A and B are shown apart, each in its own frame.
Chain A
Amino acid sequence: MNTLEIRDLRLSFRLPVGTVEVLHGISLRIARGERVALVGESGSGKSVTARIILGLLQEQRGVRLAGDIVFQGRNLLRLPPRERRAVRGTRISMIFQDPTSSLNPVFRIAPQFREVLARATPDLSEKAARARAAELLDEVAIPDAARVLDSYPFQLSGGMNQRIMIAMALANRPALLLADEPGTALDVTIQAQTLDLMRKLVVDHGTSVLFISHNLGVVREFADRTYVIYRGRIVEAGPTEAIFHDPRHAYTRALMAAQPRITGGGLPDIPERSDDFLAPLIEHEAAP
């Protein structure tokens, strides 16, 4: 059974000037333990999709949604708000772009960690929470957990905060992890280390991952399957290797050409818009 299945998801915002549709019918699925990437440029609708899955967008006014988001057999879009919220932080969790600004600057790590643990175990004592947090920090290769727990986020390095974010995200053993451009704010070596760590942990725990990124190099290393999104539409989908070997959609090819080569050759020339980019979905068959 799929952990997550999104069918024909449409999102529009009601504005004073009329209704603007942002997502034009997105469908994707993530099997248990599968790592799936959603790739596209900024404004394509990838981050918004993650926020709809979490139910964050629904709480804003003027948001209209249609379609289905089935998570572990339940349609999240049809759940009453209270039950939808209960899923957050327990069975679905999220990692954000910039770890240091995603942690509250006026609280130490320990109470923030405890609050996350309390989502799944409300009656956890302070001492037990601390012990559990130290264990989880050990999993993300933070050796001196006691010092880190008593620190404020600004006293720790970006890489350290990213490890803390990963530990928090997996603390309640969620079935689905949404990773929205994780570590984009970090430098490349730290980003590679923390992504490697994250992959190891999600494989160990059998966590499904929706990995949102514009960085094709990272996606290729991380994801089993990839969806390419362009202006609110999925334009190409299939096993990551198949897409990278044989990109068939004009936009996918443009996206790949847009990656500057380490060997030089200048910045590639990509058209801003092209009718080819709006061509219908291309689906690669199952992985070989």
Chain B
Amino acid sequence: MIPVLRLAAKRIGTSLLVLFGVSVLIFCIARVIPGDPARVALGPNATAEQVANLRAQLRLDEPLVAQYGHFLADLARGDLGRSLYTNRPVTTDIAEFLPATLELILVAGIMMIAFGLPLGILAARFRGRWPDHLIRVLSLLGVSAPSFVWAVGLMLVFSYYLGWFPIAGRIASQFEIGRVTGFLLIDTLLAGNGAAFRSAAAHLVLPAFALALSGIGQAARLTRANMIETYETPYIEMARAYGFPERRVANRYAFRPSLIPSLTIIGLDLAALLGNAFLVEAVFGWPGLSRYGVQVILRKDLNAIVGTVLIISAMFILVNIIVDVLTVLLNPRIRHAQRGATP
């Protein structure tokens, strides 16, 4: 276990460097896109003097390097500056909007793994027969359309025509739920309000599924391909020769070795959910960080843009670290190489 911790620590160290690079990059990019943030914030009727005052207040009149220095000094104190759009500290905004996005992404990620992997196993086990054909067609469909197309399609069919799910938002408006964690599924349970929980869950199904669909397809295709390769190995032939039930051969002996090469890609897909969430949140009116991000970019709200991008990068890196650690845990060969054992 200790070598795994050491690996995690090493990866966290290098990811701080990555985050530093990201901050420099986004800091510069945010400042070179055309438009004057002070002018946008104050509106068309503001005088040149007012704009100049705000620019000075935001330190936009200083050189870029000095601006970045101030930014780093503030960041060290956990301060990301104020948002011109909401007129609140960016950290407050992020704390408000991040849980909604995390909830959406976590549920989508669970769907991706809970549907994608078993579908891949089934397709490989019944290779060339109808379950395989069906799963291949469905996963190809899932992969080939972007998630916002699915979002619109699912919303149209299941909310508008069939009326099975609510059209938009996180929860029906009649519920007043005290904010504890910001995760509505948890907060409604903490409040002991079953009806509110069901409402929150129903609101979550379509956006999460739309977000997860391409990942489900990708995970199923990848699992299938790797399992088919594993099926050709002598150890699977041996498992069959010893009469292990076909189901167990698939779920245990072929799946476990196949998961290792799939894991890296699945991890990338999980991280990609963060980016795809931008458009899905927009379609479903989901009050999350991604929707906030789109709004602040349109208003050239510098502090908010930098803050949002940094948080999303940090989560991206975190997912990758988790996947790396899992890969090591699942693959005894790497695990033992880390320990320095020689075969």
CB neighbours of A125 from chain B (8 A): none
Digitize A137-176: 1 where CB-to-B-CB distance is under 8 Å, 0 elsewhere: 0000000000000001011100000000000100000000
Do B240 and A56 touch across chains, with their CB atoms under 8 A apart? yes
Q: How far is the CB of A136 from chain B (nearest CB, A)?
A: 14
CB of B257 closer than 8 Å to a CB of A? yes
Which residues 172-193 in B have Cβ within 8 Å of A in the complex? Answer: none
Q: Are A88 and B235 touching (Cβ within 8 A)?
A: no
Cβ contact within 8 Å between A101 and B235: yes
A-B contact count (CB 8 A): 72
* Residue of B233, B331, B332, B333 with highest tally of chain A CB at under 10 A: B332
Which stretch (A103-111, A202-210, A261-269) binds chain B?
A103-111
Partner of A104 from the list B243, B253, B330 (CB cut-off 8 Å) is: B253
Inter-chain contacts of A104 with B (CB < 8 A): 235, 239, 253, 256-257
A104 to B234, CA, bound (A): 9
Q: Cβ of A96: which chain B residues have Cβ within 8 Å of it?
A: 234, 237-238, 241
Q: Is B244 an interface residue (CB 8 A)?
A: yes
Contacts of A252 in B (CB 8 A): none
Minimum C-beta distance from B126 to chain A (A): 12
In the bound assembly, the distance between CA atoms of A98 and B237 in angstroms comes to 12
A152 contacts B238, C-beta separation under 8 Å: no
Per-residue A-contact encoding for B293-313, CB less than 8 Å = 1, 0 else? 000000000000000000000
Interface membership of chain B positions 217-246, coded 1 if the CB is closer than 8 angstroms to chain A and 0 otherwise: 000000000000000011101111111100
Kindly provide the distance from the CB of A158 to the nearest chain B CB, expressed in whole angstroms: 11
A115 at the interface (CB under 8 A from B): yes
Cα A54 to Cα B242 in complex, Å, equals 9
Q: How many residues of B contact A (CB 8 A)?
A: 23
Which residues of B are found within 8 Å of A119, using beta-carbon distances? 242-244
B329 CB, nearest partner CB in chain A, Å:
11
Within 8 A of A (CB), among B203-227: none
B343 contacts partner chain A, Cβ-Cβ < 8 Å: yes
- Contact indicator A102/B243 (Cβ below 8 Å): no
**B336 at the binding interface (Cβ < 8 Å):** yes
CA distance A104 to B235 in the complex (A): 5
Q: Does B32 contact A (CB under 8 A)?
A: no
User: Does B341 reach chain A (CB closer than 8 Å)?
Assistant: yes
Given A106-B256, A155-B341, verify A101-B234 contact (CB < 8 Å): yes
Apart from A101-B235, A102-B235, 14 more pairs, CB < 8 Å: A56-B240, A56-B241, A88-B243, A89-B244, A90-B243, A93-B241, A94-B238, A94-B241, A96-B238, A97-B234, A106-B256, A119-B242, A152-B332, A155-B343
Can you list 9 residue pairs at the A/B interface with Cβ under 8 Å? A88-B243, A89-B242, A93-B241, A104-B256, A115-B242, A116-B242, A152-B332, A156-B343, A168-B242
- B residues near A, CB below 8 A? 128, 233-235, 237-244, 253, 256-257, 260, 330-333, 336, 341, 343
